Homo-oligomer: A and B are copies of this chain.
């Protein structure tokens, strides 16, 4: 028995349907794409998708999903104030259960918004993994390693990182995978970065790190070390391992050449980079150099949504605004960033709606007043559609959202858990040292 999205328009990388089709799913894969009314076999579950558009599940290539619990805790302040005076003090208060419920909240927001797959970095990763398992997304999980050197702290950090890979890589029938995540060059010693790369190589998983996010961070590093953070990672051999590098806002032409030469995937987070005052990454130059650029939201504490529809639109607008060029980063290019480029970064076959691909399918209603009329489907998706227009979300062949209803967790319970925990954190911020 299969599922048929019937009479649906399709957008998939490099191929926009000019007429509606039937998309049939069976055994967790796209089984057939045929003319309308022709795909259903007896016993199939058939959804009438007239007036709707199917696209591959969106891939959020860089996030800290549990930080949904910190959404709006500190706005309109720069990166270092935000981290040191707000985020880190709150994070020290987080229990594994806080991380679980924060993750569930963020995953619910994302799946309702058509995101089927995430690349995450955080701590209490077992709690993140349980949340991913329960809500039903695909994920690449990692523990953010922070250590000056491979002393006791460094060894313990690497052990924790290895534990995440050992536990979660391949879990939930392969829906969950893992990476090794040294937090950044400025928060990890050289030997720690090298040990992380070795660990990643041993498990054949990627490195996931923050790279060249703030101007001051890059300037300070370059003043002390004489070379850029990108050049440092190259010199010490980290880029020999498949690497996912979040941000890359402040990278030179030489840095971009290095990223391209080593096949590094850049995880572009335009809203977070803008909101923290870090600027706009040179995406057009990266794409000209052949760098694979995927799209991420970063955490909700610096975004403040986990919404790839908003991220796609803002990605395009920021590039056009800063380069004063309306042609840069077309709707098609930005949709590819949010789908196939994310899959390419992870070496997975998701991010497309081709026959044989994993069945991660998102169905969007195009009939709303804010989308009509439609002259061009990809323009409608990027510039006009809202995440709230998502009607159905299938991941690995199973519905996680159907006709707007979440199928996997109880949203009332999520809300109630989140409110209690946020209240405790708020009290803890007001009276440091008193929160559990």
Q: Which residues of A line the B interface, CB within 8 A?
A: 69, 71-73, 75-79, 82, 105, 108-109, 112-113, 215, 271, 273-280, 300, 303-307, 310, 313-314, 316-318, 320-328, 330-331, 367, 369-376, 379-380, 383-384, 386-388, 411, 414-415, 418-419, 421-422, 426
Contacts and interface: CB of A to CB of B under 8 A. Distances in A.
Considering residues A305, A326, A374, which has the most beta carbons from chain B within 10 angstroms of its beta carbon?
Answer: A326
Contact of A275 (B76, B113, B383, B422): B383
B304 A379 contact: yes
Contact of A369 (B278, B318, B411): B411
A380 B317 contact: no
Given A274-B318, A321-B273, A383-B275, A330 B78 contact: no
Q: Give 3 nearest A-B pairs by CB, closest first.
A: A373-B422, A277-B326, A274-B321
26 contacts: A71-B371, A71-B375, A72-B373, A72-B374, A78-B325, A78-B327, A112-B369, A274-B318, A275-B316, A275-B320, A275-B326, A277-B325, A278-B321, A278-B324, A304-B383, A305-B383, A306-B370, A314-B317, A317-B318, A318-B318, A369-B415, A373-B419, A374-B422, A386-B386, A386-B388, A388-B388
Contacts of A276: 320, 326
B72 A383 contact: yes
Contacts of A321: 273-274, 277-280, 318, 322
Contacts of A274: 317-318, 320-321
Given A105-B369, A322-B322, A422-B373, A71 B384 contact: yes
B304 A384 contact: yes
Contacts of A76: 316, 326-327, 330-331
A305 to B, nearest CB: 6
Contacts of A306: 370
Considering residues A300, A304, A330, A387, which has the most beta carbons from chain B within 10 angstroms of its beta carbon?
Answer: A304
Contacts of A370: 109, 112-113, 305-307, 387
Considering residues A73, A274, A276, A305, which has the most beta carbons from chain B within 10 angstroms of its beta carbon?
Answer: A274
A275 B331 CA distance: 11
Contacts of A313: 310
B384 A330 contact: no
A330 B349 CA distance: 41
A218 to B, nearest CB: 12
A199 B109 CA distance: 52
A426 B305 contact: no
Nearest to A411: B369
Given A72-B380, A310-B313, 10 more contacts: A69-B373, A71-B375, A71-B384, A77-B327, A274-B318, A277-B324, A277-B328, A280-B322, A373-B418, A375-B426
Nearest to A414: B369
Contacts of A380: 72, 304
Contact of A330 (B75, B82, B215, B373): B75
Given A326-B77, A326-B275, A373 B317 contact: no
B275 A71 contact: no
Contacts of A271: 317
Given A375-B73, A383-B75, A109 B369 contact: yes
